[in-house]
Every structure is written in structure tokens, then in C-alpha cells.
Amino acid sequence: MPRVKEISKLRNIGIMAHIDAGKTTTTERILYYTGYLHRIGEVDDGNAFMDYMEQEKERGITITAAATTCFWKDYQINIIDTPGHVDFTAEVQRSLRVLDGAIALFCGVGGVEPQSETVWHQAEMYNVPRIAYVNKMDRLGANFENVLEMMVSRLKTNPVAIQIPIGSEDNFEGIIDLIKMKAIYFDIETQGLNYEESAIPEDYRIIAENFRAKMLESVAETDDELLGKYLDGESLTEEEIKKGLRKGTLELRFVPVLCGSSLSNIGVQPLLDAVIDYMPSPDNIKQYQGFDVKDHEKLISRKPFEDEPFSGLAFKILTDQFVGKLTFVRIYSGAVKIGNSVLNSYVGKQEKINKILILHANKRDEVQEAAAGEIVAIPGLRFTKTGDTLCDVKHPIAYEQIHFSEPVINQAIEAKTLADQEKLLQSLEKLVDEDPTFKFKLDEESGQIIISGVGELHLEIIVDRLLREFNIPAKVGKPQVAYRETIAGAIRQEGVFDKPIGGKAQYGNVIIEMKQAQRSKGIIINNNIKDDKIPKQFHSAINKGVNEALQVGMNGYPVIDIEVNIVGGSYNQESSTELAYQIAASIAVKDGLRNSGTILLEPVFEVEVVSPEEYVGDIIADLNARRGRVEGINQRGVMQVIKGAAPLSEMFGYVTKLRSLSQGRAVYTMTYSHYEPAFIKN
């Protein structure tokens, strides 16, 4: 099957960072220099090409991970521009799952900030090779070496500078390429489009040589042949250095570090060169591991070649006003063309491919076919949700699903008119399809619709989207904490169901033991029943009954951090059914919770406040008053960093309070940490 570029000339990369480090600005420059945009958009002006949602333009932040394709030096680069705000971490997580490499972008002033750490560790989890780009070197307080030190201390990684800046802050003029040992200056008149290499300024020669020596040492360690040359005092060629840097990057031994200022149009083209030189192509990944659809214990794999059976992962769903539901798919193996039928291996249903789109943010080009390594959008898929596997009907495979954070904040919502209420439910259904961290339910007691998300901004954006995209003005209540429960003590409990249903006898008998599990372990179910007690065919029904019963505890909240061991029961050949065992298991769980009692749990967030020193005392006093725990205070440049933890219930409206305490000079980040026993006020 023909493709736009051969697979070795494909790069699937993401740009990940803390909020406001300059991800979207960097992507805008990449699109400009690769010839896709004829003028540069600015986030601050609200006309950035990648931030196409109205809320993104207004707030100057990225909410959805926008995908785009561009070409550089005969290579095709698929870029996913991910959000930096902690409320949209799911967008980063699902993007990292399907990318081959990532650019970790750090602010030259702030360095490694909290969300940088979060996304870095997510990239570690998926073994994604990275290069780092230290942006904003022209900002007051920018310090390249300080960022390198923070990468070591906070990320526990091995940064290898392959560029260093010429000057910093107002004196930032250009960059020094340590491979070529040349200074690079960018032409302001052409918005950085033209740049030239020249000799390294004399006062930077010794610094450059010191950094180059460290780089060569790291490169030499990647290969015995290079090490031999290096130890013999021979010079390594430019080609050998690049080969060693690529090998070390792909093997996750170190992270090449570049620098620049995207806003000032300095350093972006060398960053593109580094993507081509050091980031993996899809065929560098030897194979993708999946499961046998019928037996999840059995591993099977696919290679990233077109002659393999088709397989891909649906990693994102977007509702589009023109084409309806768009499913973003990373193709891992084989090829797919318009008119094909593919299998969704998680739901066991076939989907027809009627259109295949290549994406440029919110603009799309239709193609007839797509092959291994590509990222495409397919409209009109009926059964596919985020994390599902699409594959060849005759060669099924299931890739591991993507796991997301559970919502921790609730809000009541209703349409302003009765006529809009049904429309509101349909629109919320579409938003749930798009965003796995967003949920809603109908509260049977109050009749209210309750929406749930991972933060206040998350729900604010959802309500805003309802108005703008679906034309539904909605009223919302105050944000509420999504509490959980856990069992108070250990208990053994029997559940029996012995009643006729529809005139047919039904019998199920289950014995369980329940106890608290470690924090953040969720629900653990161990099925220890011998087949001679209850036949294996009923075990999944028992598990289902246990799971369903734990959805609502004694106080009406889901039960978590609990271990349920199914230890016994009995079987009647005449009347035992799956339904009876499901009900019996549910009875055992509910009676066990009632007899043992439950403990209310509340979500606790890690909090990091960055503030000038004079406000630290007031900020700590306020955190203590909010039942917060201060766990450490560190210096970051001229600012103090207060790290701690606090319950979500006490942190509503904190942004306003912090502004007044610090005269608007302090900023904070909150990240969900865990659930712990709630403090109940009398």
C-alpha cells in the first residue's frame, strides 16, 4: 500500500510540559518553519492555529491534544500538542501512549515545574524516548545550567546538553551547537526563518568545550567502537556523535538538551533537526505487545509493517459539528483503506471505515488509505471508545487499555429550560465519549444531574463547552467533593439467594471475606473458590455482583481500597444460575458492609505554591487553617516553593485567597494524590 512517506521517515512526537512553558507557541513556530502556516499565530493574541477551541483562545491554554502533520527535510512529523494544566492530564496520558517520542519542554526560568514532573513520569511509564528543549531563554531569570541541575535532582534523569545559549535574559543572542562547534544566529527581520552559522564567540569557547567534553563522554559510552576511539584520544566525526546520541536516546540512557526562545524565533529549526536525528521512527520499535482476545493471559505481538495484519489503538474521541464523532487512531501494524471492515476487539463488534482523515489541528485532508506508524482520524465509528483496539477481523488482537484518573469533584447541573433537559443529557453523553475523566449520573433521590471531573477548571470548561458547542445554557451548583468509602474492619459474610424468578427456581450461595486494602489500591477481588464448590462458569457472575454492590456504600458513595476474597459457597445442579450467584454475591457484600460499618474517605491533593519570601508565613498559616500539611520549603531562584498536601474540600476558592495573600504574585498547582479518612465537622 503506498504511503506519504516510508516508515523510517515518519516521526510521531508529542510536546509535553508544565502550563505556560510555551508548548503551543513552539508548535506554531514549527508549523511556520515547515511551511504549513504562512503567518505565525500567538497564544497571547488568541490566534494560535493549534488552540482552535474558543476557550483555548480566551484563556491562552491548551485543553485538548490537537494533532497536526508537517514535513521537514523530506520527513513527515506528526505532532500532538498536549495541555499543560493539571486538570487535563488525561489528554497528555493518552497521547503519550500512542507516541514514539516526546519533546519535554521546560521554561528557562521555572525549570522543572510540578506538571513537568507529572508528564515526565507518565512518559517513563510508557518508555517514551525524550529530547528536552529549554525555552524562554530571553526571559528575566532564565538560567540554562539551573534547568539541567533540576532535571537531575527532580526528574532523576541524565541530561546531555547538545546546545548551550549565547547569553540569557535580555542578552540572549543565539545558540552554540556543541556537535558542529558553531554559533547559530537567527535573523529577526525574517522572524527567524533565516539563520547562519559562525565561529563561537571567544568568551564562550571554554564553556562550550567543557560542555562538549561531557557530551562526548556520554556518546562514547553508548558503543564499544566509539568508546575505543574516545579512549585512544581520536576525534569522533559529526556522524558518529549523532549516531551515539540517537542510540543513547532510544535506549533511554540520557536526554539530549537543546535551548532557545520560541517566541523570539530562536532555536526552533535545530529542534526540528533533533527530532529527525534522535527521535524514533515507528519501525525502531521492534514489536507491539497485545493480548489474545479469548485468553488475556496469552501475549501476542504485531510488527510495525504494512504486510502485518491491521491493528491500531483508538486513543481519543472528538465530537465535530460537521462530521460527528471523530475517533483518533494510532495504526500499529498493517494498513486500512476506505471500505474496509475492522473489528473492535473489546466489544466484539465490526466497524466500517467510510472515511480516513489526516489532521492539521481542526483542518482535515481526506485520504484513501493509511498504514503502520500513522496517526489518523476516522469519523462515524459507532461502538469504539477511548482505549479500544481496532484490528483485522481474521487476526484479532487486544492492546492494553489506557487507565485514567477517577473524577474527584462533583457539581449539580440543569438546563435553563425544560425543553433543553433532554438535549443536555445527549450532549453530556457525547462529552463522556470524548473525555474519560468526565462522568455524569442522574441522582435518583434529588432528580438532579451530577457531573464529575478532576478539578474546578475541568468542570468549568465542560459547562462552557455545553453553551458554545451544543448551544445549551446551563445552571450549576457549587462544586462538591466526590467522597468514597472503605470498610471499617475485616468480616466474613454469607449471601444466599433462593427464590423463583418468572416461575423458575433460582439458587446462589456465596461466602466472602472483606478487609481494607492499602490506600489507592481500588477494588481487589480474589476468587479462591474451588470448582467442585461452585463451577467455573459462575465465577464471573460472582465477580460482577461484588463489583456492582461496591458502587454504592452505606453513605451512598462508591467503596474503594477494599480486598474481597471469595472463599466458598454452594451449588445446586437444578436451580443455580448466573443471575442467582450475582445477586447472592451482592447480598453478601452489602450485608458485610452493613455489619462491619464503613469509613468515609476524602480526596487529598498535593499542593505546590511558588511565592516571594515575604508572603510565605501567611500562606503557610492559611494552608494550616485548611487542614493542609506543609512538607517542605525550598528556594527556586528568588522565589520560595512551599510543598504540601490538603483535602480538596478545603481548597475551593483557593486561587482568590492566594491572590489576596500575595498581592497576586504567588501561583499554585494542585495534583490529586490519594484518598484518606475524612474529617467530619460537628
Please tell me the distance from the alpha carbon of residue 97 to that of residue 156, in angstroms, as a whole number: 21
DSSP class of residue 559 equals B
Q: How far apart are CA 245 and CA 177, in angstroms?
A: 14
Q: Is this structure's pTM higher than 0.75?
A: no
Supply the pLDDT for residue 149.
Answer: 94
> Exposed, middle or buried: residue 236 (CB in 10 Å: 0-12, 13-18, 19+)?
middle
Domain residue spans of the chain: 7-203+253-284, 288-391, 409-477, 485-596, 603-677
Superfamily of domain 7-203+253-284: P-loop containing nucleotide triphosphate hydrolases (3.40.50.300)
Q: Which amino acid is at 165?
A: P
Q: 151-157 long-range CB contacts below 8 Å, 24 or more apart?
A: 151/106, 151/111, 151/112, 151/255, 151/257, 154/112, 154/117, 155/112, 155/116, 155/117, 155/120, 157/120, 157/254, 157/255
Look at residue 37 in the predicted model and tell me its pLDDT: 57
CATH of domain 288-391: 2.40.30.10
Give the chain's count of helices (H) and strands (E).
15, 37
For the domain spanning 409-477, the CATH number is: 3.30.70.870
Q: Are strands 491-501 and 523-527 parallel, antiparallel or unpaired?
A: unpaired
Given this model, what pLDDT does residue 363 score? 64
Instruction: Tell me yes or no: is domain 485-596 CATH 3.40.50.11610.
Output: no
> In this structure, which CATH number among 3.30.70.240, 3.40.50.12780, 3.30.465.10, 3.40.50.720 belongs to the domain 603-677?
3.30.70.240
> What's the one-letter identity of residue 464?
D
- Placement of cell 433521590 in the chain: 445
What is the 8-class DSSP label of residue 627?
Answer: T
pLDDT at 49: 39
Question: 495-518: buried (b, 16+ CB within 10 Å) or exposed (e) per residue?
Answer: bbbeeeeeeeebbbbbbbbbbbbe
Distances (CA, A) of 185 to 144, 176, 260, 391: 18, 9, 11, 49
Within 10 A of 191 (CB to CB), how many other CB atoms are there? 15
Dihedral class, residue 233 (left if φ above 0, else alpha if ψ from -120 to 50, else beta)? left
Q: How far apart are CA 586 and CA 583, in angstroms?
A: 5
> How many of the other CB atoms lie within 10 Å of CB of 279?
26
Helices 654-662, 616-625: axis angle to 10 degrees equals 150
Distance between CA atoms of residues 124 and 81, nearest Å: 18
Q: How far is Cα 196 from Cα 213, in angstroms, rounded to an integer?
A: 24
CB 320 within 8 Å of CB 351: no
- The one-letter code for the residue type at 20 is D
Give yes or no for a contact between 585 and 525, defined as CB atoms under 8 angstroms apart: no
Provide the H-helix boundaries in 99-166.
Answer: 114-125, 144-155
426 membership: H or E segment, kind and range: helix 421-434
175 with 266: CB under 8 angstroms? yes
Which ranges of 265-338 does DSSP label H, i.e. alpha helix?
A: 268-278
What are the 10-residue block averages of pLDDT along the chain, 682 residues in total?
71 81 80 70 42 37 52 87 47 68 91 78 84 95 94 93 94 95 92 91 95 95 91 92 96 96 94 96 87 85 92 83 79 93 93 86 76 89 89 92 76 86 88 83 78 82 84 87 92 94 91 92 88 87 94 92 94 92 96 95 90 93 94 84 92 85 83 84 52
CB 68 within 8 A of CB 50: yes
Are 7-203+253-284 and 603-677 in the same CATH fold? no
